[in-house]
């Protein structure tokens, strides 16, 4: 019963998107609708995303408790392309280690008639917490919470995959690296399985693969060669330097030797396999520059699609509120 | 005052009684079970028709928050909650502020509780000064002041040498040491059981090994020192197994489990429900069942509330940042009776786990309806159904994951030292 509640908090009674907190509990047709909407906003080759008046006069607040210039900028650009006004709040987590402060922050910004919060926080569940406490007419979009979820990143990755592969169903996808600490990986796995791919694999040493990973709906490989065999998509995850200090890995060198992506390793994948990375990339740690800059890499496209996907999610959430007559 | 409790069904596991019998109280003591003594005239008669009359509950571990954290609870509020829960004896954990590491703090708590007269508040003294895990506390003085055990709560001891010395020193005075087994390095800042649910929610996990490694270490030290140790709030199957083996090898070791660990599992964390943020964390169904088995076969002789009341703000934050714990006095009996409904153990055994079970572990004379014993009585109606309303709980802490649950077995009367301290509103 409890889990139903969780799944429903981001949907209204008609099953439409009120908040975008996690991929979990969203159906395939809804994910497809997000991708189709993003398609309508997507840039023509060589031209910027066009500006539309969809959210004119609306206020969107970027509420970032964790630094991320890149993600914040793409959300800001997406909001501006939708003609919304944007407020940016960078709140240091040390100042808001108490929940009352977090709620106080929320109330204060709501008082400025902001109708949408784009939230990034270093604690899992933070976006759910804010969504539960937000006023009825306010949408919350999760821009990354702890290790839990980063659903817009996952959707822009799905958008990238669809652009290159068309149909999801025959695909085999390998996600390589620090799955344990990755909110991106969790959201990608959910999205890929919901969209009906043939197989999702996670590849890494035992220290970086979470307990009971199979419960996520993946096959676990500790050997990169078996992990990459015949896959259509390779997603490399970022490796944080702290993992060495935390006794999770001995050294970047050994990690690269065992799990770094090189052209030789990529040879066991399908000949038309694409290589992705949610960024920012550590060249020579997760992958060779030769691969990153090579013909199979779609890393830069991922970044440009990010704006269209975020425009899609923002406009869909706002539309749900507008249709139901709620306002902040 | 003389009180007779008549027409009830008496269950007193310590004396092997499980039959319809009357009970008579004179002053603070039980004076007869069965017919009234010659010449006994009751000033008051409680009709317990269709009710169970059992010893007042003994809760071996509850944080009562006074002194130091009035927003979370006071002796006044928490003893009121105890009385409503049928609990007449509570062992207060030493994590007050200041900690219970001097006779003065012990005396402060005992004196306040004596004035309130709602429940017997016993104290576990701090194992180390300020619970800092470095320097031994004045155990003999704490014992002299009335502490019934020593504990460092969940605060870590500096190292295994401090633990060894602390056990040896406590054993010098025959004091039981209550340990919360946890390897803090393996806990590694986690906030939920390291398993499928934490993996999916991205919550930093606490592996079962964080507990079992500590249990193994503590058992080895108990064997080495000959100290009497008691594990508080076991959470996993491996701990229960090791405990059973240690008891078979005649080691002086016992354990309790928090009532909620016998009902909830990691699945209840699903919604990022901060009321399910517990330390030790809710674990798997297999762990829950192994704990139930250990309670049923007596390996775990006590069920406790592990009461940890909090002010609302403590739970109003993203899950990992909330303070762990449940306000559990209200639900100790109800959750224990639920085990009977679910066929885990018979009613008299279940009552033993919250009365004479914990009492015997600390060599206390409570939790029994013996002639001459303190007249601590709990009367409940096993057939009445009630719904928990967190907001209406007497505890200052309304933090419970059981809000809205329907339970059977409402407490109708609680007597402490021969005095009626709670009576259910007849309406």
B426: pLDDT confidence band, cut at 50, 70 and 90? confident
Total tally of structural domains belonging to chain B: 2
- Give me the pLDDT at residue B74, please: 97
Within a 13 Å sphere around the CA of B80, how many CA atoms are in the beta-carbon half?
A: 10
Interface residue ranges in chain A relative to chain B, Cβ cutoff 8 Å: 2-3, 5-6, 24, 97-100, 102-103, 121, 123-126, 128-129, 133, 145-149, 183, 186, 210-213, 215-216
Decide: A244 and A253 in contact? Cβ < 8 Å: no
Regarding whether B41 and B60 lie in a shared domain, the answer is no
- B207 in reach of chain A (CB within 8 A): yes
- Per-residue pLDDT, averaged over B111-122, amounts to 97
Decide: B113 and B120 in contact? Cβ < 8 Å: yes
| Choice among B12, B59, B218, B306 that is catalytic | B306
DSSP state of A49: P
A49: pLDDT confidence band, cut at 50, 70 and 90? low
CB-based contacts of A127, cutoff 8 Å, min separation 6 = A19, A21, A22, A119, A121, A140, A141, A142, A145, A148, A149
- For residue A211, the chain B residues in CB contact (below 8 A) are 194-196, 198-199, 205, 207
Instruction: Evaluate whether residue B368 is within a structural domain.
Output: no
- Give me the pLDDT at residue A7, please: 47
* Tens digits of residue pLDDT in B290-339: 999 999 999 999 999 999 999 999 999 999 999 999 999 999 999 999 99
Residue B135, domain CATH:
3.20.20.140
Regarding whether B298 and B232 lie in a shared domain, the answer is yes
Distance CA A64, CA B185 (A): 30
| CA dihedral sign, ordered B420, B422, B424, B426 | positive
- For residue B203, the chain A residues in CB contact (below 8 A) are 124-125, 146-148
Neighbours of A128 (CB within 10 A): 27
| Minimum CA–CA partner of A147 in chain B | B202
Inspect the interface and report whether the beta carbons of A125 and B207 lie closer than 8 Å.
Answer: no
Regarding whether B350 and B414 lie in a shared domain, the answer is no
Regarding whether B402 and B289 lie in a shared domain, the answer is no
| Minimum CA–CA partner of A106 in chain B | B317
Regarding whether B356 and B414 lie in a shared domain, the answer is no
Is residue B47 part of the annotated active site? The answer reads no
Does the pLDDT at position B409 exceed 90? yes
**What proportion of chain A, given as a percentage, has pLDDT over 90?**
71
Continuous segment of H or E residues that includes residue B150: strand B149-151
Least confident of A54-68, A208-222, B347-361: A54-68
Regarding whether B381 and B310 lie in a shared domain, the answer is no
CATH topology of domain A2-150+306-323: Rossmann fold (3.40.50)
- Give me the pLDDT at residue A45, please: 54
- Per-residue pLDDT, averaged over B220-237, amounts to 98
- Per-residue pLDDT, averaged over B388-396, amounts to 97
User: How many helices (DSSP H) and strands (DSSP E) are in chain A?
Assistant: 13, 9
Regarding whether B380 and B333 lie in a shared domain, the answer is no
A43: pLDDT confidence band, cut at 50, 70 and 90? low
Tell me the pTM. 0.93
**What proportion of chain B, given as a percentage, has pLDDT over 70?**
100
User: How many interface pairs between A and B have CB atoms less than 8 angstroms apart?
Assistant: 93
Inspect the interface and report whether the beta carbons of A100 and B313 lie closer than 8 Å.
Answer: yes
- Per-residue pLDDT, averaged over A122-127, amounts to 95
Instruction: Evaluate whether residue B150 is within a structural domain.
Output: yes
Does the pLDDT at position A2 exceed 80? no
Regarding whether B213 and B110 lie in a shared domain, the answer is yes
- Give me the pLDDT at residue A96, please: 53
Pick from A215, A140, A150: nearest CA to A181: A150
DSSP state of B390: G
Neighbours of A166 (CB within 10 A): 10
- B405 in reach of chain A (CB within 8 A): no
* Tens digits of residue pLDDT in A250-306: 999 999 999 999 999 999 999 999 999 988 889 999 999 999 999 999 998 888 899
CB-based contacts of A294, cutoff 8 Å, min separation 6 = A263, A275
Q: Mind giving me the DSSP string for A132-200? A: HHS-TT-EEEEEEETTTB-HHHHHHHHHHHHHHHS-STT-EEEEES--TT-HHHHHHHHHHHHTT-SEE
Does the pLDDT at position B275 exceed 70? yes
Q: How many residues does chain B have?
A: 427
Class of domain A151-303: alpha beta
* Tens digits of residue pLDDT in B77-102: 999 999 999 999 999 999 999 999 99
Instruction: Evaluate whether residue B370 is within a structural domain.
Output: no
| Final residue belonging to a domain, choices B338, B361, B384 | B361
Residue B206, beta-bridge partner list: B193
Query: Range(s) for CATH 3.40.50.1370 in chain A?
Result: 2-150+306-323, 151-303
Inspect the interface and report whether the beta carbons of A183 and B202 lie closer than 8 Å.
Answer: yes
Inspect the interface and report whether the beta carbons of B317 and A102 lie closer than 8 Å.
Answer: yes
Window 16-35 of B, Cβ < 8 Å to A: none
- Per-residue pLDDT, averaged over B222-239, amounts to 98
Regarding whether B307 and B382 lie in a shared domain, the answer is no
Regarding whether B410 and B337 lie in a shared domain, the answer is no
- For residue B194, the chain A residues in CB contact (below 8 A) are 211
Longest dimension (CA), chain A: 57
Quote the radius of gyration of chain A (alpha carbons, Å).
19
Residue A277, beta-bridge partner list: none
- B316 in reach of chain A (CB within 8 A): yes
Regarding whether B60 and B34 lie in a shared domain, the answer is no
- Give me the pLDDT at residue B149, please: 98
Q: How many residues does chain A have?
A: 328
- Per-residue pLDDT, averaged over A112-120, amounts to 91
Here the contacts of A223-230 (C-beta below 8 Å, separation 24 or greater) are: A224/A176, A224/A258, A224/A259, A224/A265, A225/A265, A225/A268, A227/A174, A227/A176, A227/A201, A227/A202, A227/A203, A228/A174, A228/A176, A228/A203, A228/A265, A228/A266, A228/A268, A228/A269, A229/A268, A229/A269, A230/A172, A230/A268, A230/A269, A230/A270
Regarding whether B64 and B167 lie in a shared domain, the answer is yes
- Give me the pLDDT at residue B427, please: 59
CB-based contacts of A112, cutoff 8 Å, min separation 6 = A59, A61, A87
- Per-residue pLDDT, averaged over B230-240, amounts to 98
Decide: B272 and B322 in contact? Cβ < 8 Å: no
Least confident of A41-50, A55-64, B205-214: A41-50
Instruction: Evaluate whether residue B270 is within a structural domain.
Output: yes
- Give me the pLDDT at residue A6, please: 43
Residue A299's φ and ψ, nearest 5 degrees, are -60, -40
Predicted complex ipTM: 0.90
The CA–CA distances, whole Å, from B117 to B111, B296, B376 equal 10, 33, 12
| Minimum CA–CA partner of B270 in chain A | A3
- Per-residue pLDDT, averaged over A156-184, amounts to 97
Distance CA B327, CA A27 (A): 38
Decide: B395 and B73 in contact? Cβ < 8 Å: yes
- Give me the pLDDT at residue A324, please: 76
The chain-wide mean pLDDT, for chain B, equals 97
Instruction: Evaluate whether residue B356 is within a structural domain.
Output: yes
Least confident of A48-62, B236-250, B323-337, B339-353: A48-62
Decide: B77 and B34 in contact? Cβ < 8 Å: no
Residue B46, domain CATH:
2.30.40.10
What domain range is B250 assigned to?
56-361
- For residue B316, the chain A residues in CB contact (below 8 A) are 99-100, 103, 133
Inspect the interface and report whether the beta carbons of A2 and B271 lie closer than 8 Å.
Answer: yes
**What proportion of chain B, given as a percentage, has pLDDT over 90?**
99
| CA dihedral sign, ordered B354, B360, B361, B365 | positive
The token duo for B163 is: 């633990």
Pick from A257, A237, A224: nearest CA to A180: A237
């Amino acid at each position: 019963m409890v889990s139903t509640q969780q799944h429903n908090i981001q949907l209204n009674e008609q099953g439409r998107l009120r908040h975008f907190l996690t991929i979990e509990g969203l159906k395939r047709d809804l994910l497809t609708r997000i991708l189709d909407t993003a398609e309508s906003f997507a840039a023509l080759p060589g031209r910027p995303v066009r500006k539309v008046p969809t959210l004119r006069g609306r206020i969107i607040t970027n509420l970032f408790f964790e630094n991320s210039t890149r993600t914040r900028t793409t959300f800001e650009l997406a909001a501006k392309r939708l003609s919304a006004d944007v407020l940016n709040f960078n709140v240091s987590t040390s100042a808001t280690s108490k929940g009352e402060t977090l709620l106080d922050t929320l109330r204060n910004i709501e008082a400025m008639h902001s109708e949408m919060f784009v939230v990034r926080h270093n604690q899992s569940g933070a976006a759910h917490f804010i969504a539960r406490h937000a006023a009825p007419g306010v949408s919350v979009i999760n821009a990354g919470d702890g290790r839990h979820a980063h659903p817009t990143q996952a959707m822009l990755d799905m958008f990238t995959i669809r652009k290159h592969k068309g149909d999801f169903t025959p695909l085999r996808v390998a996600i390589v690296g620090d799955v344990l600490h990755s909110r991106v990986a969790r959201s990608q796995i959910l999205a890929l399985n919901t969209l009906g791919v043939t197989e999702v694999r996670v590849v890494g040493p035992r220290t970086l693969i979470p307990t009971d990973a199979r419960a996520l709906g993946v096959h676990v490989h500790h050997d990169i060669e078996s992990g990459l065999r015949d896959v259509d998509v390779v997603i490399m995850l970022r490796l944080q330097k702290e993992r060495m200090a935390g006794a999770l890995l001995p050294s970047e060198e050994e990690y690269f030797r065992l799990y770094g992506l090189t052209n030789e390793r990529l040879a066991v994948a399908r000949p038309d396999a694409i290589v992705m990375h949610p960024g920012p990339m550590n060249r020579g740690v997760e992958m060779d520059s030769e691969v990153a800059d090579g013909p199979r890499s779609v890393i830069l496209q991922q970044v440009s699609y990010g704006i269209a996907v975020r425009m899609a999610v923002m406009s869909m959430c706002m539309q749900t509120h507008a249709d139901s007559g709620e306002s902040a | 005052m003389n009180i007779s409790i008549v027409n009830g069904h008496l269950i007193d596991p310590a004396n092997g009684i499980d039959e319809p019998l009357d009970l008579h109280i004179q002053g603070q003591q039980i004076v007869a079970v069965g017919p009234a003594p010659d010449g006994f005239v009751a000033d008051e008669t409680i009709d317990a028709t269709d009710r169970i009359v059992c010893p007042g509950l003994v809760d071996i571990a509850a944080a009562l928050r006074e002194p130091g954290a009035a927003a979370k609870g006071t002796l006044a509020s928490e003893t009121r909650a105890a009385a409503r829960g049928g609990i007449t004896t509570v062992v207060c954990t030493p994590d007050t502020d200041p900690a219970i590491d001097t006779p003065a703090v012990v005396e402060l708590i005992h004196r306040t509780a004596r004035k309130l007269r709602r429940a017997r508040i016993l104290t576990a003294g701090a194992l180390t000064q300020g619970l800092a895990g470095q320097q031994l506390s004045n155990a003999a003085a704490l014992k002299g002041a009335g502490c019934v055990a020593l504990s460092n709560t969940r605060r870590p001891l500096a190292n295994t040498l401090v633990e060894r010395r602390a056990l040896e020193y406590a054993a010098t005075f025959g004091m039981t040491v209550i340990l919360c087994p946890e390897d803090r390095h393996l806990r590694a800042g986690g906030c939920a059981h390291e398993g499928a649910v934490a993996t999916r929610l991205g919550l930093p996990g606490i592996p079962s090994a964080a507990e079992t490694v500590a249990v193994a270490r503590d058992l080895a030290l108990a064997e080495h020192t000959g100290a009497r140790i008691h594990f508080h709030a076991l959470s996993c199957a491996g701990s229960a197994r090791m405990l059973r083996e240690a008891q078979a090898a005649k080691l002086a070791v016992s354990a309790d489990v928090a009532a909620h660990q016998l009902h909830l599992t990691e699945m209840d964390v699903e919604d990022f429900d901060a009321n399910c943020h517990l330390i030790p964390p809710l674990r798997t169904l297999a762990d829950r069942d192994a704990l139930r088995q250990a309670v049923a076969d007596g390996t775990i002789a006590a069920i406790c509330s592990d009461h940890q009341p909090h002010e609302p703000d403590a739970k109003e934050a993203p899950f990992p940042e909330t303070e762990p714990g449940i306000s559990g006095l209200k639900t100790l009996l109800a959750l224990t009776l639920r085990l009977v409904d679910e066929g885990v153990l018979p009613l008299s055994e279940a009552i033993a786990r919250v009365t004479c079970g914990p009492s015997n572990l600390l060599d206390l004379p409570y939790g029994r309806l013996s002639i001459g014993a303190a007249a601590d009585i709990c009367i409940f109606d096993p057939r009445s159904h009630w719904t928990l309303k967190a907001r209406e709980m007497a505890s200052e802490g309304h933090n419970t994951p059981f809000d809205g649950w329907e339970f059977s077995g409402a407490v109708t009367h609680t007597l402490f030292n021969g005095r009626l301290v709670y009576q259910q509103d007849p309406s």
